[in-house]
Chain A
Amino acid sequence: MKVKVISRSTDEFTRERSQDLQRVYHNYDPNLRPQEKAVEYVRALTAAKLEKIFARPFIGALDGHRDGVSCMAKNPNYLKGFFSGSMDGDIRLWDIANRRTVCQYSGHQGAVRGLTVSTDGRILVSCGTDCTVKLWNVPVATLTDSDDSTDNSSEPLAVYVWKNAFWAVDHQWEGDLFATAGAQVDIWNHNRSQPINSFQWGTDTVISVRFNPAEPNVLATTASDRSITLYDLRMSSPARKVIMRTKSNSISWNPMEPMNFTAANEDCNCYSYDSRKLDEAKCVHMGHESAVMDIDYSPTGREFVTGSYDRTIRIFQYNGGRSREIYHTKRMQRVFCVKFSCDASYVISGSDDTNLRLWKAKASEQLGVLHPREQRKHAYHEAVKNRYKHLPEIKRIVRHRHLPKPIYKAASLRRTMMEAERRKAERRKAHSAPGSIVTEPVRKRRIIKEVE
């Protein structure tokens, strides 16, 4: 007869020396793990609760400005450096990590309307309502040495005066041209004191301008005639225009899908468009209760942050209709500008109460260097929570966000109004001849027309 019995020798299964790691053996057989779905469910519930316990997104406020913050700029070459301009003309360079001003520029006479940094990160361009564009030197040396906080008010490298007040400025992602928005769109070179090119379509003010991350010659602007216009620098006239029902305050291109951009609109929604097909919005992002003032994409291209007039900041997913996260504080008043940090971990908001605020992009994220075991545990919690997040107990915990009372009330009021409108439209359709009333999808409803 042939016989063999399981025999495990202790040497094979235990470690040799106490310095060695313990031996671990795996058998993935599902029969060894009864009720694994229930165990996963309990783990998902615990993970959801832990996430809420550790959700402390506010890191700190950077104060220093004496009037509301009107615009911000990111330094593409240096993670810690952020520029902000205020309504009284003050421009500051902040060290985000230490939350202090590194350098304060003398600034403009009126409000600073736009800030942008050149491609190499050495020149800051600012424009304001005093009809000037000023170029400043970015002090790279003082950024690195953080003990010395030099409050030197440096003088601008160059001051270019032009015919009308400026509303926004943006620099090419790779190149040395920058565009300003005012009565028309002007294209400037660093060394010329006059714009090298000018575009105009219609007679309305252009409110904001953004260059495309991948195509250095394409830029998009929004104007106060409720339009979004696309320009190509190589052509002599603007390329395309889409007119909506309400004005868009700001746009941002998706850095990972550079043909898409999202516009922050006055009607409390954000509209994502494919720039090749402007007759229909790709996605409508709803959530804010008041006009959306500014929008910025994360460098991952997967989410974007919006700041609105209703004193909140929301983080949306690039293809999602509802916000993933909402941040608010009692002290934060109307948010005028928001930026996502270049490592996709932080969100900076500038608001009317003269403060810049630093927030975590993921509210319950553990900052700092994580042990690989910690990383794996966080990834596991994320995955198990996503698997069961549609079940009622877990959904209730994951979705819950505390809202301040005025915003909660405004949200319910808006909901009843939209519901009433929708019901009335439904009844109108039901009581009219079939086919006479055609419901347009929301993506198209807010667009009036597209113009070549």
Chain B
Amino acid sequence: MGAKEENGDGGGIRPPIEQEISKELDTNMKKYLRGEGANLEILKDKKLKGQLALREELYGKSAKAAAKVEKWLMPSEGGYLEAEGVEKTWQIKQEAIAREVDILSSRNQYDIVLPELGPYTLDFTSSGRYMAAAGRKGHLAVVDMKNMNLIKEIQVRETVRDVVFLHNELFFAAAQKKYPYIYNRDGTELHCLKEHGAVLKLQFLRNHFLLVSINKFGQLRYQDVTMGEIVGNFRTGLGRTDVMRVNPFNGVVSLGHSGGTVTMWKPTTAAPLIKMLCHQGPVSALAFHPNGHLMATSGKECKIKIWDLRKYEVLQTLPGHAKTLDFSQKGLLAVGTGSFVQILGDFSGSHNYSRYMGNSMVKGYQIGKVSFRPYEDVLGIGHSMGWSSILVPGSGEPNFDSWVANPFETSKQRREKEVRSLLDKLPPETIMLNPSKIGTVREAKKKEKPTKQEREAEMEAAVEAVKGFVWKNKTKGRNKPSKKAKKKQELVAKAKRPFLDQQLKGEQSLSTKKQKLSEEVELPASLQRFARKKPTA
């Protein structure tokens, strides 16, 4: 196996506390090992075997060190909610939670009422510090969530259907009535992306710097925001849809269609990678778990399904409508319908989602979008009367990594991070269903021989191409029709030749095989009577 364990005192009996600790560390270590160790027994090359064995040992050591850091050095503990007595967790109201929690956290629970400007959508930056809110009637706002500071708000006087942050809080893209626009933090319009058309939904792939959009006609477009080139432009062929989500684990974009199918796309192929029939009615919402193995879809036929993306099968079906779905960093699922938000959690570890919390808002509020705030135990809800935020203990990752996303970033750190992430920008070819395939050995593809029909079709195509050639009429008496006809015949024969050669080759090899077979059956004369004769008639 991959990990070799180091015994500090070289074996012997250790006190029970130490044993417990080491067992805990071992279970935690698995997370950091990133899969099974390599099987080195099949290698014959001794040098390579030695080098790889050394590397496997190093992996074990680093996993152990990471497990130790996790146990002892993390600054924050996660949130939790435990009901006592007869009480159940989903019966606990937000006001009760706000009463028990400290002042700083209770400030995270609020309702912002903006009735005139339409249903609101939200987006958070990857560190959870900034939020962009967009109202349907043209209201765009960027808010600093730490101090509830409104950084900038603008009124674009057009319908805005979606808003998404680019790589940091300085840039955001808004899908407006005719085209998507990119704005600066100061509200200046930087770009008008005319190629995209009337966009319904936008998503941003952070590692690849790709802005993905799906427009009214069902066209999917990928644009690289660093250089501005359109990387992919596909007609999905499945009609208008406004359900689009990026799987953060592998960068694959998935769309939910009105036929109940969910398709997954990558920027380098024109056909979807996967097409799965998920629901009997149209798909209304889609969400991905951050570890990339779970997908939640909801259909208009009142079902919410949880899928395993490794085997593409349903793990759990829940009854209920869902206008919007979102997974939190810790795996809690928020389902928003009408004016009610339900939060489901998987507590047994066996992918069995059950009710955890619920929150019903004022009757008139129609929920448009739910979005968990990264690194905080907060759920942002965008609805028809503005936006709200509620506390969901245990939903956010308590310990952030400063090099990945830092909610306490200074402007210098932000600039450095921008430069670093640009240097590490992934090319669009690295988007694949299984991202850990990079660096592994590619399986030898068995070349499939084209069938007879395919070969004939190819030959016909080649002949057609030649026949369609337009001849230039020669002058000075060289334009004889007989010569033209002869030339045409020559060209058609030339086009057919490679296919006929291939056929001949195939037949030759067949005939030699037959000869060989027949030769093997040649027995000496004395044994002829024991040769197996072919059955007559």
CB-defined contacts of A10 to chain B, threshold 8 Å? 146, 408
Of A21-29, A71-79, A222-230, A397-405, the one touching chain B: A21-29
Pairwise interchain contact A42-B427, C-beta atoms closer than 8 A: yes
Pairwise interchain contact A6-B80, C-beta atoms closer than 8 A: no
A9-47 CB contacts (< 8 Å) to partner B: 9-10, 12-14, 22-35, 37-39, 41-43, 46
A390-419 CB contacts (< 8 Å) to partner B: 391
CB-defined contacts of A37 to chain B, threshold 8 Å? 435-436, 438-439
Tell me the minimal C-beta distance from A386 to chain B in angstroms.
10
Tell me the minimal C-beta distance from B81 to chain A in angstroms.
5
Q: Which of B397, B398, B402 contacts A24 (CB 8 A)?
A: B402
Tell yes or no: A4 within 8 A of B by CB: yes
A273-316 CB contacts (< 8 Å) to partner B: none
Q: Which of B66, B82, B290 contacts A28 (CB 8 A)?
A: B66
Pairwise interchain contact A7-B47, C-beta atoms closer than 8 A: no
Pairwise interchain contact B291-A6, C-beta atoms closer than 8 A: no
Pairwise interchain contact A32-B401, C-beta atoms closer than 8 A: yes
In the bound complex, how far is the Cα of B73 from the Cα of A26, in angstroms?
A: 9
In the bound complex, how far is the Cα of B106 from the Cα of A7, in angstroms?
A: 10
CB-defined contacts of A199 to chain B, threshold 8 Å? none
Pairwise interchain contact B399-A7, C-beta atoms closer than 8 A: no
CB-defined contacts of B179 to chain A, threshold 8 Å? none
Looking at B105, B250, B405, B439, the one whose CB has the most chain A CB atoms below 10 A away is B439
Tell yes or no: B78 within 8 A of A by CB: yes
Tell me the minimal C-beta distance from A37 to chain B in angstroms.
5
Q: Which of A22, A23, A42 contacts B424 (CB 8 A)?
A: A42
Bits for A316-331, please: 1 = Cβ < 8 Å to B, else 0. Answer: 0001000000000000
A168-199 CB contacts (< 8 Å) to partner B: none
Pairwise interchain contact A3-B101, C-beta atoms closer than 8 A: yes
In the bound complex, how far is the Cα of B59 from the Cα of A387, in angstroms?
A: 13
CB-defined contacts of A27 to chain B, threshold 8 Å? 70, 74, 397, 399-401, 404
Tell yes or no: B282 within 8 A of A by CB: no
Tell yes or no: B112 within 8 A of A by CB: no
Tally chain B residues at the interface, Cβ within 8 Å.
69
Pairwise interchain contact B31-A6, C-beta atoms closer than 8 A: no
Contact A2 B82, CB 8 Å, known A25-B399, A26-B401, A41-B439: yes
Tell me the minimal C-beta distance from B29 to chain A in angstroms.
11
In the bound complex, how far is the Cα of B33 from the Cα of A402, in angstroms?
A: 40
Tell yes or no: A433 within 8 A of B by CB: no
In the bound complex, how far is the Cα of B80 from the Cα of A4, in angstroms?
A: 5
In the bound complex, how far is the Cα of B391 from the Cα of A5, in angstroms?
A: 8
CB-defined contacts of B146 to chain A, threshold 8 Å? 10
Tell yes or no: B320 within 8 A of A by CB: no
Pairwise interchain contact A35-B207, C-beta atoms closer than 8 A: yes
Pairwise interchain contact A7-B75, C-beta atoms closer than 8 A: no
Looking at A10, A43, A388, the one whose CB has the most chain B CB atoms below 10 A away is A10
Bits for B413-431, please: 1 = Cβ < 8 Å to A, else 0. Answer: 1000000000111110010
Tell yes or no: B459 within 8 A of A by CB: no
Pairwise interchain contact B100-A1, C-beta atoms closer than 8 A: yes
Tell yes or no: B151 within 8 A of A by CB: no
Tell yes or no: B92 within 8 A of A by CB: yes
Contact A38 B438, CB 8 Å, known A1-B100, A13-B408, A30-B32: yes
Tell yes or no: B118 within 8 A of A by CB: no
Q: Which of A7, A22, A28 contacts B413 (CB 8 A)?
A: A22
Tally chain A residues at the interface, Cβ within 8 Å.
38
Tell yes or no: A234 within 8 A of B by CB: no
Tell me the minimal C-beta distance from B211 to chain A in angstroms.
17
Pairwise interchain contact B408-A6, C-beta atoms closer than 8 A: no
Tell yes or no: B338 within 8 A of A by CB: no
CB-defined contacts of B404 to chain A, threshold 8 Å? 27, 32-33
Pairwise interchain contact A28-B69, C-beta atoms closer than 8 A: yes
Tell yes or no: B232 within 8 A of A by CB: no
Pairwise interchain contact B32-A3, C-beta atoms closer than 8 A: no
Tell yes or no: A8 within 8 A of B by CB: yes
Looking at B77, B290, B403, the one whose CB has the most chain A CB atoms below 10 A away is B403
**DSSP class of A's interface residues: helix, strand, loop or mixed?**
loop
Pairwise interchain contact B75-A6, C-beta atoms closer than 8 A: no
Tell me the minimal C-beta distance from A21 to chain B in angstroms.
12
Tell yes or no: B242 within 8 A of A by CB: no
In the bound complex, how far is the Cα of B398 from the Cα of A12, in angstroms?
A: 14
CB-defined contacts of A22 to chain B, threshold 8 Å? 410, 413
CB-defined contacts of B401 to chain A, threshold 8 Å? 25-29, 32
Pairwise interchain contact A8-B407, C-beta atoms closer than 8 A: yes
Bits for B146-173, please: 1 = Cβ < 8 Å to A, else 0. Answer: 1000000000000000000000000000
CB closest chain-A residue, reference B82: A2
Contact A4 B435, CB 8 Å, known A32-B401, A35-B430, A42-B426: no
In the bound complex, how far is the Cα of B66 from the Cα of A30, in angstroms?
A: 10
CB-defined contacts of B398 to chain A, threshold 8 Å? 6
In the bound complex, how far is the Cα of B343 from the Cα of A192, in angstroms?
A: 96
Bits for B433-455, please: 1 = Cβ < 8 Å to A, else 0. Answer: 00110110000000000000000
Pairwise interchain contact B424-A25, C-beta atoms closer than 8 A: no
Tell yes or no: B259 within 8 A of A by CB: no
Pairwise interchain contact A1-B82, C-beta atoms closer than 8 A: yes
Pairwise interchain contact A34-B400, C-beta atoms closer than 8 A: no
Tell yes or no: B248 within 8 A of A by CB: yes
Tell yes or no: B25 within 8 A of A by CB: no
CB closest chain-A residue, reference B107: A7
Tell yes or no: B281 within 8 A of A by CB: no
CB-defined contacts of A13 to chain B, threshold 8 Å? 75, 407-408
Pairwise interchain contact B75-A35, C-beta atoms closer than 8 A: no
Tell yes or no: B2 within 8 A of A by CB: no
Tell yes or no: B227 within 8 A of A by CB: no
Pairwise interchain contact A32-B397, C-beta atoms closer than 8 A: yes
CB-defined contacts of A35 to chain B, threshold 8 Å? 207, 249-251, 426, 430, 435
CB closest chain-A residue, reference B83: A1
Tell me the minimal C-beta distance from B93 to chain A in angstroms.
11
CB-defined contacts of B425 to chain A, threshold 8 Å? 42
CB-defined contacts of A41 to chain B, threshold 8 Å? 430, 438-439
Tell yes or no: B377 within 8 A of A by CB: yes
Pairwise interchain contact B439-A1, C-beta atoms closer than 8 A: no
In the bound complex, how far is the Cα of B412 from the Cα of A14, in angstroms?
A: 14
Pairwise interchain contact A31-B436, C-beta atoms closer than 8 A: no
Tell me the minimal C-beta distance from B488 to chain A in angstroms.
45
CB closest chain-A residue, reference B289: A31
Tell yes or no: B509 within 8 A of A by CB: no
Bits for B91-106, please: 1 = Cβ < 8 Å to A, else 0. Answer: 0100011001110110
In the bound complex, how far is the Cα of B407 from the Cα of A113, in angstroms?
A: 70
Tell yes or no: B375 within 8 A of A by CB: yes
In the bound complex, how far is the Cα of B14 from the Cα of A184, in angstroms?
A: 67
Pairwise interchain contact A6-B375, C-beta atoms closer than 8 A: yes
Tell yes or no: B239 within 8 A of A by CB: no
Pairwise interchain contact A7-B423, C-beta atoms closer than 8 A: no
Contact A3 B34, CB 8 Å, known A27-B74, A34-B435: no
B60-74 CB contacts (< 8 Å) to partner A: 66, 69-70, 73-74
Tell yes or no: B84 within 8 A of A by CB: yes
Tell yes or no: B272 within 8 A of A by CB: no
Pairwise interchain contact A6-B78, C-beta atoms closer than 8 A: yes
Tell yes or no: B76 within 8 A of A by CB: yes
Contact A2 B66, CB 8 Å, known A25-B399, A34-B292: no
**Sample of 6 further A-B pairs with CB below 8 A, known A3-B92, A27-B74, A32-B404:** A1-B82, A1-B89, A3-B80, A3-B97, A28-B69, A37-B438
A-B contact pairs, 30 of them (CB 8 A): A1-B84, A2-B80, A2-B81, A3-B100, A4-B79, A4-B393, A5-B97, A5-B101, A6-B105, A6-B376, A6-B396, A7-B105, A8-B76, A13-B408, A23-B408, A25-B400, A26-B401, A27-B74, A27-B397, A30-B34, A34-B249, A34-B251, A34-B292, A35-B249, A35-B250, A35-B430, A35-B435, A37-B436, A42-B430, A46-B423
Q: Residues on A close to B: CB < 8 A?
A: 1-10, 12-14, 22-35, 37-39, 41-43, 46, 319, 387-388, 391
A-B pairs, top 3 by smallest CB distance, nearest first, are A38-B430, A28-B66, A27-B401
